[in-house]
Structure formats: C-alpha cells, structure tokens
Amino acid sequence: SCVQLVKHVRDGCPNLEFSGLMTIGMPDYSSTPENFKMLSNCRLAVCKALGFAEEQCELSMGMSGDFELAIEMGSTNVRIGSTIFGPREYPKKQEANSQ
C-alpha cells in the first residue's frame, strides 16, 4: 500500500527524503476525477498514518491535457511542458540491419 511504501522510504532509505506522491494520468488525457481522487486518498492515508501534515506531502498530478481537472482535485504540482514548449519530437530509431 502507499502507506507501507512511504514508511519504507522514511525509515529505510536514509539518503531519500519523502516529499509527496505523483501520478501520471492516461496517455490520451482521458483521466477521470476518480484517477486523481485515488492518489488524493493515498495522501490522506499517508499523512494520517505517519503523522505528516498535508502541506508536507506534495500531490503531483496532471499534465498539459488534464491539469485543470488535476488542480480541481487538489494537485499541488502540474507538469505542463507540452503546453509551453509544444509536443515532444522523438528521434526516429534506426533499424539494426540498416547501415
């Protein structure tokens, strides 16, 4: 569960500092409120179980196509690079046999 994972990071990973939870919505931006609500519920469970204030637990969810919904659902961070810089252009892979 999310609580056990965060507890492991906090107690068993001295070189890591837990700062919050992150999710990425559906690739076609068809995320529904339930997708974001699930992570929001995880945040509440983590904070309650481990004694964090909600402000100590960032909630990073939402990208260029669904950031408005994510903000409505409580996101504290959104990733909107495609809106600012345009869509990514990936280099074409060369086939192994072509030289």
The number of C-alpha atoms within 13 Å of 81 and in the hemisphere containing its C-beta is: 4
Residue 67: pLDDT band (50, 70, 90) is confident
Evaluate if residue 99 carries a pLDDT over 60: no
Residue 97: pLDDT band (50, 70, 90) is low
Query: Which stretches of the chain are DSSP H helices?
Result: 2-12, 33-50, 67-72, 81-85
Place of tokens 């408005």: 68
Evaluate if residue 25 carries a pLDDT over 80: no
- Output the pLDDT for position 87: 83
